[in-house]
Amino acid sequence: MNNKIIFNLKILIFTIAILICNNLYANSRPEWFIPPPLDPTGLELETVEIDEGVFALLSNKPFTDNSGFVVGEDFVLVIDAHFNGEMGNQIISAVKKVTDLPIKYLVNLNAFGDHVFGNYVFPKSTTIIAHEKTIDFLKRNSLQTRKELISVTVGGSIELFEEIIDRFPSVSFQKKMTLDLGNKTIELHYFGPGMSPSDTILYVPDSEVAWTGNLVFGRGSIPWARSETLSDYLETMKNFDLTINPKTIIPGHGKISKGDIIDKYISYLDYVLKLSNSLKKEEVRIEEHVKKINIPSKYSIEEENKDLMEGFHKWNVLNSYKQIEQNSE
């Protein structure tokens, strides 16, 4: 079987997994699960300079999307286009308040609507870049399907997305890509699947700052293996930890974190895998048992996101248990 066929099969599996998971939490989700609250209505992005030329755009609403941009001597790079044209234009305005340099690059860190729906308002001269799995997913699924996928995070309505025009990334990468903004180097990394199959890390080596999209949420969070296996997620985080060592992490959702959150994620994923194996050996009724479990206190959680994270934890344990069950058949 050649590499192209294998890649297409992986993308098909990715698409099916996303659709199944969306159906689970959109239509028949457990009562304990709370969809991430991502409605951008009234959202304002605060511009925070992390280092010279490195700017985070931080949401004023808990767990809604962050963004950011990096300014070199010649060009600007923007991280994620946000949820719609209004938010995309808010990002562009934030850049213009800092510099007159052109936005040469826009990087989509994954395929979800809250990261890509604002693409269409960026200048035609802006090159949009994403991992190859992100691009393939966008092309394989209609805009309507992708609106419905993300609608559960905004109360089930797609009215926020009515004006959206599809604009796909035109440049892809596989494992790593390096970009030069003029005396400012940017690295794009793909370490493997995590929250989604195409989670991308954007790293600014000189500043030791990383944008982590949905792979690592902010301070006081745990990972959410939405459609991927926890064992794959753990391997991805270990690859992340071995390859780069950011001092500052700007998450796609949540508060800015120190780089040591990577170790916390690795510890948590390892814990859930061991817990799930133990529960499988005991042959518990997992759907009932999972209602009673809580995040261990050593994984400190931000109070404003506590219910959301508890739902992620239950999902992770249930997901991991089911995967072990399937593998043992």
105 confidence band (pLDDT: 50, 70, 90): very high
Look over the chain and give the mean of its residue pLDDT values, rounded to a whole number.
Answer: 92
pLDDT at 115 over 50: yes
Q: What is the mean pLDDT of residues 295-313?
A: 95
Q: What is the mean pLDDT of residues 305-328?
A: 94
What pLDDT was estimated at residue 94?
98
26 confidence band (pLDDT: 50, 70, 90): very low
24 confidence band (pLDDT: 50, 70, 90): very low
β 185-189/176-180 pair status: antiparallel
What pLDDT was estimated at residue 227?
81
What pLDDT was estimated at residue 3?
57
Print the domain residue range for 260: 3-328
Which H or E run includes 311? Answer: helix 306-328
Query: What CATH number corresponds to the domain at position 73?
Result: 3.60.15.10
pTM of the model: 0.92
223-236 per-position pLDDT tens digit: 999 988 999 999 99
Looking at the 3D structure of the chain, how many domains does it have?
A: 1
Please report how many Cα atoms fall inside a 13 Å half-sphere around the Cα of residue 303, on the Cβ side. 0
2 confidence band (pLDDT: 50, 70, 90): low
Output the DSSP codes for 252-278.
Answer: SBS--EETTHHHHHHHHHHHHHHHHHH
52-62 per-position pLDDT tens digit: 999 999 999 99
14 confidence band (pLDDT: 50, 70, 90): very low
258-273 per-position pLDDT tens digit: 999 999 999 999 999 9
pLDDT at 6 over 60: no
**169: its two tokens:** 């990334």
pLDDT at 291 over 50: yes
**73 in Cβ contact with 184 (< 8 Å):** yes
28-51 per-position pLDDT tens digit: 578 899 999 999 999 999 999 999
- Cβ contacts of 96 within 8 Å, gap of 6 or more: none
What pLDDT was estimated at residue 214?
98
Q: What is the mean pLDDT of residues 142-169?
A: 94
The CA-atom distances, in angstroms, between 292 and each of 181, 202, 300 are 51, 37, 18
- Cβ contacts of 182 within 8 Å, gap of 6 or more: 72, 73, 74, 75
What pLDDT was estimated at residue 27?
47
**189 in Cβ contact with 201 (< 8 Å):** yes
pLDDT at 9 over 80: no
Nearest to 276 by CA among 297, 290, 266: 290
pLDDT at 148 over 80: yes
**38 in Cβ contact with 84 (< 8 Å):** no
